[in-house]
Structure 1
Amino acid sequence: MSPRHLFVLVLVGCSPAWGQASTPAGLWQTVSDRTGQPGGLVRVVEVDGEYIGTVVAVFSPPAPDAHPLCNLCEGDLKDKPVVGMAILRGVRRSGDGYSTGRILDPDEGQVYKCRIALLDDGRKLEVRGYIGIPLLGRSQTWTRKE
C-alpha cells in the first residue's frame, strides 16, 4: 500500500471524530461540597434537545444511609430516593454554549438556576448553580467518567 493510500485511509477513519462536537451527554463524577471528595455519579442524556442529568450513584450521603432520600425536597420529590432522581433539567444548546437550566441540590432540597460549560476538551463540566445572577452562586467541576 502506498503512503498516499495509507494517508487517505487514516483521514477517512478519523473523519467521524471531526464532525462530533463534545456534548454534556455522558457519565459525570460530582464533588461533595462538604468534603471535596467524589460525591456521586450523574448520567446526562439529551432528550429532544434538552439535557437531563439523573443521579445514578451517591458516594457521600448526608447520613450513613446507603439509599438517601430527598428529605428536604418539596412536592413530588419529597422523601424520594436520590438515586434515579433527575437533578439537572432545562439546559439546551445555544450558539457556542448552553442555555440556563435548573439544578436540584438534593442535600438542601433547593432548586437553583444553572449554567454549564464544557472544559478541558469535554473531559470536565463546570456546573454553576445560582439564585438571581450567576455572579451570586457557586460552581462545581464534574469529571467525565465515560
Structure 2
Amino acid sequence: MMMKRLMLAGSLVTSIVIALSYGTARAEVRSPIGDWLTGQGGAVVRISPCSNGAGLCGRIVGLMLDAGVPEPADYRGRPQCGFELIRPSEQQGELWRGGIVDPRNGDRYHAEFHVTRMGELALRGYIGLPIFGQTQHWLRYQGRVPRSCRINQAQMAQSVLPDQVNADQRD
C-alpha cells in the first residue's frame, strides 16, 4: 500500500513538472534584442534596452555602402550611423509598441514589432491606427558590425541565416 502511494505521488510530481515546463516553454517570448537587417537590406539596426531603461530602442549600427560612397546624413545633417530609429518601445505580451523615425526626413510614426515564429522581426509603422500602416520583415543579422558602420554586400549576404532568406511562412 505504501509503495503504491509513493509511486502515485512520484507520477503526480512528474506530471506536474512536465506540465509546468511545457507551459513555461510555450509562454517564452522571442526577444527582439539584437542586430537586424532592415527590410530593404540597406542597414543593420541594433535593438537593445534604451539608455534611460525605458523599454527598447533601435539604432543604426551598419550601413551597406560601396567603397568611396560617403555615409548618408540624417534629416538633421548628421551621419545616419548611430541614429536612433526606434524610439522607446514598451512590451505588451509578445508585442512591443513605441515609435519609429525616418532618418531621411524626420517623419515620425507609431510602431509595433514582434519576432515571428520564423525568427523575423515584423515591424509595422503606422499613422493613427495600425490598420493604416505598412509592415516590414527584418532578418536577424549574425555578422560583425565594424566601428566604421560600413558593411559591404558580401558581408550582408554571409551574415543572414539561410533559412531566413528562404522563409516562405510569416506570422
TM-score under structure 2 normalisation?
Answer: 0.59
Mark the runs of 5 or more structure 2 residues left unpaired by the alignment. Answer: 1-20, 143-171
Alignment partners' CA distance in 2, 1:132 and 1:60:
34
Larger radius of gyration: 2
Query: 1:138, CA displacement in angstroms?
Result: 0.9
Q: Indicate whether 1:29 and 2:37 are aligned.
A: yes
Match of 2:159 in 1: none
Query: 1:84, CA displacement in angstroms?
Result: 0.7
Query: Structure 1 runs of 4+ off > 4 angstroms?
Result: none
Match of 1:115 in 2: 112
Residue 87 of structure 2: SS of its match in structure 1? strand
Q: Deviations over 1:51-110 (max 9, x none)?
A: 11000112269xx8431101xx3xxxx111111111101211123422x21101113321
Question: Which of the numbers 40, 44, 47 marks the counterpart of 1:44?
Answer: 47
Structure 1 residue identity aligned to 2:126: Y
- Taking a change above 3 Å as real, the CA distance of residues 108 and 133 of structure 1, as seen in their structure-2 partners, is same
CA contact (8 A) 2:30 2:94 kept: no
Structure 1 residue identity aligned to 2:88: G
- Taking a change above 3 Å as real, the CA distance of residues 132 and 60 of structure 1, as seen in their structure-2 partners, is farther
100-109 vs 111-120, which deviates more?
100-109
Alignment partners' CA distance in 2, 1:133 and 1:95:
19
Structure with the larger strand share: 1
Match of 1:136 in 2: 132
CA contact (8 A) 2:35 2:47 kept: yes
TM-score under structure 1 normalisation?
Answer: 0.69
Structure 1 residue identity aligned to 2:33: A
Q: How does 1:1-146 map to 2 (within 5 A)?
A: 21-32=29-40, 38-47=41-50, 48-59=53-64, 65-70=69-74, 73=75, 78-98=76-96, 100-120=97-117, 123-146=119-142
CA contact (8 A) 2:122 2:136 kept: yes
Structure with the larger helix share: 2
Structure 1 residue identity aligned to 2:42: G
> Identity of counterpart residues, as a percentage?
28
